[in-house]
């Protein structure tokens, strides 16, 4: 099914992706392109509406980010912040350069309409609450002739302008952030009343569209190799592929022995038992533990695990030879971040190995999730029938529990971490303290301390518990878990997990610590 498209032109604003998300929350499909690629994209894709994002530059600079607004004729367009300034600058108004930034909450005053009686509902008429979020340097000094001045604040006279005849609407504030209390209504007014879009992009429709797209791309006989790790993205991708092409989705799961308790069994049960997938499980614990023997350096561990993944695929190459396609779990934030000239680069240092290069080189890559945000991936997973524990799974490092065990990684030490971690998660869930947690886990330290158990002296290792809140894993703070929950977890761990006689809770934020121990 063809959906109407709202194109967000990214001028480098920190909220540009958020605009896309907000539009999609209305059930309207939206994509983002950097301003450098916008003209071509618009002529090829004919969006039903366009939103010009904010940005850190000045329209008055030489080489300022820009697009020729005449290509938007006939397309309802909303300019936000820099986007509004660009409209004013190009269409006959004036923009004033400023050396200071205005940043924070403001009260907006909606201007009395100049046309009486009011013929059209203006975007700003949706502002039931006057609180808006501003973040700009330059501001509009005069608006183009055929625009109506719609809103002001004490410090910014031209906080809104619009031209019904041109179908162009501008706001200096940011309707996409939640600090603009009626921001959603402003966006709704633009999308539904001005651009008259229909809300037909739903979870069901994107699952259906993805399935059709996979079928078209893979053809009637193609086979796709899909490596599943137990993580959300690869699980949803596999579930989609299975639904689309059944047995021709060759799912591969490498059990390296470094997952959390019962997770490997859960992957097998879901894909073999529930989906009756064509699942190949490579049980390679010995290989991984063998190579990790005696290794204590964190970087060395990562390197070994990365290399062993490649070796596993090399070793099983003949079984996988007849796959013509290789599925990758790229999601929308990766797509826009790697295609953007302006957004910060995604971190790369964490990724461990994957498929051997020779294997990739011979196969067409398909990325069934490339248009979805993480929460949309989760929604698709639910619709496809994946269990909650898979769909709601926390981010988990590629090298697995190896980076949650300082010192040597042995099967015995992995078992200790798995047991302690299961108790911690159990108690968090049972007490409801797991709500809002980004990641939580138990780790094992490579030191020993003295304790007493019964009448016996013990000399054993400590478990560290870590639970953090975060938006994007770039920064994080320790969660204030109720003391009684921590106490219960600590008591259960020392009583139930053989080899542990002390439990610590990690209070450090990131920075200066990182989320994982290694």
Span of 97-105, 259-267, 331-339, 348-356 interacting with ligand XMP by CB under 6 A: 348-356
For residue 515, state whether it binds ligand XMP (rule: CB under 6 A). yes
Active site residue: 162, 176, 263, 308, which one? 176
Our CB check for ligand XMP shows the closer of 403 and 414 to be 403
Our CB check for ligand XMP shows the closer of 93 and 398 to be 398
Residue 469 C-beta: closest distance to ligand XMP, Å: 12
Contacts with ligand XMP in 284-323 (CB under 6 A)?
A: 302
Phi, psi of 172 (to 5 degrees): -80, -20
Span of 151-159, 187-195, 292-300, 347-355 interacting with ligand XMP by CB under 6 A: 347-355
Query: Tokens 């920075």 belong to which residue?
Result: 511
Applying CB under 6 A, among 350, 362, 480, 498 the residue interacting with ligand XMP is: 350
Distance, in Å, from the CA atom of 441 to the CA atom of 86, rounded to the nearest integer, reads 48
Our CB check for ligand XMP shows the closer of 181 and 295 to be 295
Contacts with ligand XMP in 450-479 (CB under 6 A)?
A: 473
For residue 81, indicate whether it is catalytic. yes
Residue 346 C-beta: closest distance to ligand XMP, Å: 11
Q: Where are the alpha helices (DSSP H) in 138-272?
A: 183-188, 203-218, 232-245, 263-268
For residue 439, state whether it binds ligand XMP (rule: CB under 6 A). yes
Distance, in Å, from the CA atom of 440 to the CA atom of 478, rounded to the nearest integer, reads 10
Our CB check for ligand XMP shows the closer of 183 and 231 to be 231
Active site residue: 3, 81, 263, 284, which one? 81
Our CB check for ligand XMP shows the closer of 116 and 349 to be 349
Distance, in Å, from the CA atom of 358 to the CA atom of 163, rounded to the nearest integer, reads 56
Active site residue: 3, 89, 136, 174, which one? 174
Applying CB under 6 A, among 76, 399, 413, 503 the residue interacting with ligand XMP is: 399
User: In Å, what is the CA distance from 216 to each residue of 213, 222, 224, 328, 381?
Assistant: 5, 10, 13, 17, 21
Helices (H) and strands (E) in the chain, counts: 16, 22
Distance, in Å, from the CA atom of 392 to the CA atom of 387, rounded to the nearest integer, reads 9
Angle between helical axes of 232-245 and 374-383 (0-180°, round to 10): 50
Query: Tokens 């990182």 belong to which residue?
Result: 514
User: In Å, what is the CA distance from 410 to each residue of 285, 295, 402, 417?
Assistant: 10, 10, 9, 11
Distance, in Å, from the CA atom of 449 to the CA atom of 483, rounded to the nearest integer, reads 23
For residue 226, indicate whether it is catalytic. no
Whether 149 and 111 have beta carbons less than 8 Å apart is answered as yes
Span of 216-224, 245-253, 345-353, 376-384 interacting with ligand XMP by CB under 6 A: 345-353
Q: What is the DSSP letter of 247?
A: G
Our CB check for ligand XMP shows the closer of 267 and 277 to be 267
Size of the residue set binding ligand XMP (CB under 6 A): 15
For residue 510, state whether it binds ligand XMP (rule: CB under 6 A). yes
- Three-state SS for 139? strand
Our CB check for ligand XMP shows the closer of 230 and 398 to be 398
Distance, in Å, from the CA atom of 362 to the CA atom of 326, rounded to the nearest integer, reads 9
Query: In 10 A of CB 277, how many CB atoms?
Result: 23
Residue 320 C-beta: closest distance to ligand XMP, Å: 22
Applying CB under 6 A, among 352, 383, 423, 479 the residue interacting with ligand XMP is: 352
For residue 397, state whether it binds ligand XMP (rule: CB under 6 A). yes
Residue 32 C-beta: closest distance to ligand XMP, Å: 24
For residue 350, indicate whether it is catalytic. no
Give the distance between the most distant pair of CA atoms in the chain: 90
Q: Strands 29-34 and 456-469, how do they pair?
A: unpaired
- Residues tagged active-site: 81, 174, 176
Interacting residues with ligand XMP (CB under 6 A): 302, 350-352, 395, 397-399, 403, 439, 473, 510, 514-516
């Amino acid at each position: 099914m063809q959906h109407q498209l709202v194109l967000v032109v990214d001028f480098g604003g920190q909220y540009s992706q958020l605009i896309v998300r907000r539009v999609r929350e209305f059930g309207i499909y939206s994509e983002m392109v950097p301003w450098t690629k916008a003209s071509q994209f618009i002529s090829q894709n004919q969006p039903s509406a366009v939103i010009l994002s904010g940005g850190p530059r000045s329209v008055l600079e030489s080489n300022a980010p820009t697009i020729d607004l005449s290509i938007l004729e006939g397309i309802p367009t909303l300019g936000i912040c820099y986007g509004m300034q660009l409209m004013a600058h190009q269409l006959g108004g004036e923009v004033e350069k400023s050396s200071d930034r205005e940043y924070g909450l403001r009260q907006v005053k909606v201007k009395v309409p100049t046309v009486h009686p009011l013929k059209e509902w203006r975007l700003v008429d949706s502002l039931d609450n006057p609180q808006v979020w501003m973040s700009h340097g330059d501001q509009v000094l005069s608006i183009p002739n055929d625009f109506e001045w719609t809103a002001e604040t004490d410090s910014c006279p031209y906080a809104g302008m619009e031209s019904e005849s041109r179908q162009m609407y501008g706001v200096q504030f940011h309707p996409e952030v939640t600090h603009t209390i009626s921001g959603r209504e402003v966006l709704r007014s633009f999308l539904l009343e001005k651009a008259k879009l229909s809300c037909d992009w739903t979870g069901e429709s994107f699952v259906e569209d993805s399935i059709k797209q996979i079928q078209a791309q893979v053809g009637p006989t193609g086979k796709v190799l899909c490596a599943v790790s137990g993580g959300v993205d690869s699980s949803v991708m596999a579930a989609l592929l299975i639904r689309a092409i059944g047995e021709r989705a060759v799912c591969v799961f490498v059990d390296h022995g470094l997952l959390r308790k019962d997770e490997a069994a859960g992957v097998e049960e879901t894909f073999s038992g529930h989906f009756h997938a064509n699942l190949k499980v490579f049980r390679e614990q010995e290989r991984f533990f063998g190579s990790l023997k005696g290794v204590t350096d964190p970087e060395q561990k990562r390197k070994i695990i990365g290399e062993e993944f490649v070796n596993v695929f090399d070793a099983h190459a003949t079984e996988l030879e007849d796959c013509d396609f290789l599925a990758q779990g790229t999601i929308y934030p990766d797509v826009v971040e790697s295609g953007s000239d302006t957004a910060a680069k995604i971190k790369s240092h964490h990724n461990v190995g994957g498929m051997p290069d020779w294997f990739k080189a011979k196969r067409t890559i398909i990325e069934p999730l490339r248009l979805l945000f993480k929460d949309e991936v989760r929604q698709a997973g639910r619709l496809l029938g994946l269990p909650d524990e898979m769909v709601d799974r926390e981010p988990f490092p590629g090298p697995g529990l190896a980076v949650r065990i300082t010192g040597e990684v042995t099967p015995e030490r992995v078992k200790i971490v798995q047991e302690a971690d299961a108790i911690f998660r159990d108690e968090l869930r049972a007490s409801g303290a797991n709500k809002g947690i980004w990641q939580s886990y138990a780790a094992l330290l490579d030191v020993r301390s003295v304790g007493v158990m019964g009448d016996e002296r013990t000399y054993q290792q400590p478990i560290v518990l870590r639970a953090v809140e975060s938006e994007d894993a770039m920064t994080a703070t320790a969660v204030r878990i109720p003391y009684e929950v921590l106490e219960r977890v600590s008591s259960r761990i020392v009583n139930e997990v053989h080899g542990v006689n002390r439990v610590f809770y990690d209070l450090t934020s990131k920075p200066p610590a990182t989320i994982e121990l290694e």
